[in-house]
Structure 1
């Protein structure tokens, strides 16, 4: 069986100007990065703002497992299938982070015959957006320490600096560091640390900004620390916002690429969904909506994370209203949620599938709470049996949710044609009545409790007094109306990654809260989740290299 990389290499890519023409983008609006990828100029993006929007479709999934679910693959396959049926469709995805590529998860360009291309370039440096975001983040960090060194005119308390450095790599050794060691010439020693770039506030600002002016305004609102009397010091106070915006100017233009079957795809921005808000850029999504009748976008990890944040943070900030939702699952993943060992997934076990369906059921019901009609995309594996598939269909029937069998990994658009028809049926049915889960006026603690109760089915939230005091300070400073971004494990509805299925009555333990004033939300960190991941015992990087012809091997 051919690997994803082998399938990608065997594809005949079309020049990016042809893909642009198909999407309604003139060649003079392109800024090419080679033959097969390009940025779409912001002038062209801004010129589309008066056009009507197409229909937005959200693709999400169950809590991820080692068996794999195929959410990105389904997003690509659905976009290809819609185009093959004569619907003008575009795909809007996040850019992959180098951390997972070299860690355990691998790349994020789909798989099999449902991929965005050029796969190797997208998964590695692409157009340099993440490097620009990292540089802007670390420029601000350098200016903070430089301000301290040259007299600290603003009175910034070195013990109350909250801005951290960033790098787009899993590196646990950088989670907590001591900076400015080595004596007077190197500045004032203090505790510091790194987050992975995709969890940084600059990434969130980049993805939520509406245009260049909004980008610089949001960057200026970033809080880097506090004075001894509690006054916030911002990037604008340090006069860093202009230079940061300059670093990000070219990156803010969306990236245009293609699927293996020639569908246009905008791949732009890439915050993690377990420790950040998990959605591609507002600019790319809105451009796609102006150019296509249907836009298929994806939110990271399970619907309890990426989809909830897409709906409560991104849609609220950008004024988006999805028309339908696809929840992706596999019978193999449902067996894992049902308690079966990974080594036994090839054996029929209808009882285990039935137990694991509790996870799928909850995600479907959660999406329905937002007023979205839902269809389940069941990715088919060779060993799936009719009895297992029937169990999933039977379980979804009381929810009014169709289960569509998908074979796009092997068959491309033809394998998701039925899913495309089901999605069009939901859009044309006009039953979507999107509403966020909570209102802006609810307290920050109340918002966290609402998500924990309604989405995670937690009995309560444990908020230690120091964390509660922080929430109170945020509200007193005028940030009580912002949404919340809960950082927790992706593997469970709870904060315990070993609690699979659909646990109830658990306690969500908050460890810390961080104000992202530029992004416009409060991050609530639950359980043991880290904003800087580490590499596994055997990272994927060990298997990546170059062959005798200089081609990349081992990337997946």
Structure 2
């Protein structure tokens, strides 16, 4: 059966019943139909007095066209932990419409490890991304309007930092000109669109602890510079209150369920290559108060997603992860070993051994944070026993257990061994979690440490203008912020063609920018796209409704 057919055949329970299993009172539940709801935490203040459960991060090797299955593993592990009697909730990001209609497809898992209602989750869901789009573009409009009515803040029109967003892949909007058509239409200006999930508003929503924190962070958004080069913030235009009002409902976590009727919070969706790539702090903390175990994931490979989870999300939210699961597939590792995509079904131990350098570096990186690590081998049909054994043996040399999983085909039954192994690690090994760098380490030194310690770069360079800008940020009081590296997810380096675990290469930081609301400095490397384009044959060409009015072609 196809993923969408499996999802449609699911025996979903009313969302109120899923909420009851988490002891969420009826007054705190705001249903969006029968099978999804928002949770109003104002109606359950007692939740803050409950003890925290155990936090498990699911990350992966560097992504390849062969696929890794991070979301399916997150769902499968959560279901399996519940299967062995451990009260577990999963926390995921919300899908963006851009990838759904583009090339990547949906982000609700697959096979028998899915969250449902899958179609709703992938298409609009509860409207959170639309609210973020509206809030972001309201600020854009208020900037233009402020200048139109006299520009009391003396904004330099050449130094407006705030663009517009839309949650669709549209390369034609990357660079635009606004204000054409005469004086009544404003002033001509160069601008452009990013995709909604790349908006700093998205990152702010996912890192805020409460509505007041949300408004404070929105107020700190850097939007432009004055002609004397002093910064202009969102609060200077008094836009933060209206933006918070637009985001009030979107800020509440979304509750859905897995195919096996286990609870799942799906909330927020920042890009992992331009932002921190994790679901919302409020969803994760709520799940930790309501469950004994929480399984969450971070975007892309561990060099991006896990690093930002540890050094940005955990740092800001005061979270301590208890274990890390690194997902790998035989297919992906062989591709990292130099095998072409059309030859991945053939057994190739030599290429697998070579490609395991990528997995090995990710595992060692995760271990460096003082958190126990386990490897999940997401097994595909053509994988041979010898290939699986090779991964297990290689990981044993690192003191790490590798467990084959078949959750796509068998649901929680196929991940039960992984769940048991994770449970044993949590019961026998205490995490000694530590961040990669201290708050007071200089910004440039933070960048260098990430590039050298996590990516394995031998040299890190930048133009003098970048160092001058970092010095200015430090003088403005932002030196304590974390660093959010923006680079390709497909390689440890900034060259996506360098697979495996490359060494003796240089990383050049071409620009930096301040995300004061989110609370980090973005370091831009390589060619990072914040507005993707559609492929030659986008998924949108095959998506539609069948004769029964059901969505088809989404997978």
Q: TM-score, normalised by structure 2?
A: 0.99
Counterpart CA distance in 1 for 2:37 and 2:115 is: 14
Task: Report if the CA contact (8 A) 1:45-1:287 is conserved.
Answer: no
1:312 maps to: 311
Distance in 1 of aligned mates of 2:385 and 2:416: 20
Count of residues in Structure 1 that have an aligned counterpart in Structure 2: 555
Q: Which residue of 2 aligns with 1:493?
A: 492
The alignment partner of 2:400 has SS state of: coil
- Residue 425 (str. 1) matches residue 424 (str. 2): yes
Q: Which residue of 1 aligns with 2:338?
A: 339
Alpha-carbon distance in structure 1 between the residues aligned to 2:27 and 2:238 = 35
Which secondary structure does the structure 1 equivalent of 2:76 belong to?
A: helix
Deviates more, 1:411-420 or 1:454-463: 454-463
Equivalent residue number for residue 470 of structure 2: 471
Aligned match of 1:120: 119
1:277 aligns with 2:281: no
SS in 2 for 1:178: strand
In the alignment, the residues of structure 2 paired with residue 469 and residue 543 of structure 1 have an alpha-carbon distance, to the nearest angstrom, of: 49
- Aligned-partner SS, 1:457: coil
Say if 2:347 and 2:387, in contact at 8 Å, map to a contact too. Answer: yes
1:462 equivalent in alignment to 2:465: no
Question: Following TM superposition, by how much is the alpha carbon of 1:425 offset from its aligned partner in structure 2, in angstroms?
Answer: 1.2
Distance in 1 (CA, whole Å) between partners of 2:180 and 2:472 is 32
Return 510-519 or 407-416, whichever deviates more. Answer: 510-519
Residues 1:236 and 2:239 are matched in the alignment: no
Partner residue in 1 for 2:535: 536
The residue number in structure 1 matching 2:14 is 15
Whole-Å separation in 1 of the counterparts to 2:191 and 2:442 = 30
Alignment of 1:509-528 (within 5 A): 509-528=508-527
Are residue 257 (structure 1) and residue 284 (structure 2) matched? no
Residues of 2 paired with 1:544 and 1:66: CA distance?
Answer: 22
Give how far 1:82 is off: 0.5
Alignment partners' CA distance in 2, 1:179 and 1:277: 30
Shift in Å, 1:431: 2.8
The root-mean-square deviation of aligned C-alpha atoms, in Å, is 0.9
User: Which shifted more, 466-475 or 85-94?
Assistant: 466-475
Counterpart secondary structure, 2:522:
strand
- Quote the Cα distance in structure 1 between the aligned partners of 2:62 and 2:204: 26
Alignment partner, residue 182 of structure 1 = 181
* 1:339-358 alignment runs, 5 A limit: 339-358=338-357
Aligned to 1:248: 247
Shift of 1:471: 1.4
Indicate the residue corresponding to 1:359 in structure 2. 358
Name the CA distance, whole Å, in 1 between partners of 2:423 and 2:166: 41
Name the SS of the counterpart of 2:235 in structure 1: coil
SS of equivalent to 1:237: helix
Shift in Å, 1:78:
0.4
> 2:438: which partner in 1?
439
Corresponding position of 2:155: 156
SS at match of 1:135: helix
Cα pair 2:375 2:402 within 8 Å, conserved = yes
- Whether contact under 8 Å (1:515, 1:521) holds in the other structure is yes
Q: Within 1, Cα distance between the matches of 2:85 and 2:376? A: 21
Q: What do the CA deviations read for 1:393-426 (whole angstroms, capped 9, x no partner)?
A: 1111111100100001111011100100111111
Q: Is the 8 A contact 2:372 2:429 kept in 1?
A: no
Asked whether the 8 Å contact 1:93–1:268 carries over to 2, the reply is: yes
Matches within 5 A, 1:370-385: 370-385=369-384
Native 8 Å contact 1:179 1:190 kept in 2: yes
1:32 paired with 2:31, answer yes
- Contact residue 25 and residue 44 of structure 2 kept, 8 A: no
What does residue 80 of structure 1 align with? 79
Q: Could you tell me how far 1:42 is from its partner in structure 2?
A: 2.6
Question: Partner residue of 2:393?
Answer: 394
Q: Distance in 1 between matches of 2:483 and 2:371?
A: 21
Aligned to 1:453: 452
What's the offset of the Cα at 1:537? 1.8
Query: Offset at 1:188?
Result: 1.5
Inter-partner Cα distance in structure 2 for 1:463 and 1:351:
38
Instruction: Tell me how far apart the structure 2 counterparts of residues 399 and 274 of structure 1 sit (CA, whole Å).
Output: 28
- The CA distance in 1 between the partners of 2:432 and 2:376, in whole Å, is 22
Query: Which consecutive unaligned segments of at least 5 residues does structure 1 have?
Result: none
Could you tell me whether the CA contact under 8 Å between 1:74 and 1:408 is conserved in 2? yes
Partners of 1:251 and 1:285 in 2: how far apart?
Answer: 15
Measure, in 2, the Cα distance between the counterparts of 1:141 and 1:254.
26
The question of 1:193 aligning with 2:192 is answered yes
Structure 1 length-normalised TM: 0.99
SS in 1 for 2:397: helix
Structure 1 residue 45: deviation in Å?
5.5
Name the structure 2 match of 1:202: 201
Contact 2:253–2:266 at 8 Å: present in 1 too? yes
Gaps of 5+ in 2: none
3-state DSSP of counterpart to 1:392: helix
Give the 3-state SS of the residue equivalent to 1:59 in structure 2.
Answer: strand
User: Residues 142-153 of structure 1: matches in 2 within 5 Å?
Assistant: 142-153=141-152
Q: CA deviation at 1:16?
A: 0.2
How far residue 46 of structure 1 moved from its aligned partner, in angstroms, is 4.1
C-alpha contact (below 8 Å) 1:69/1:333 kept by paired residues: yes
Cα distance in 2 for partners of 1:230, 1:144 equals 17
Counterpart contact for 1:488–1:495, Cα < 8 Å: yes
1 CA distance for matches of 2:43 and 2:502?
48
Contact 1:323/1:426, CA 8 A, preserved across alignment:
no
Q: Tell me, yes or no, if the aligned pair for 2:71 and 2:107 is still in contact at 8 Å.
A: yes
- State whether structure 2 residue 325 is matched by structure 1 residue 326: yes
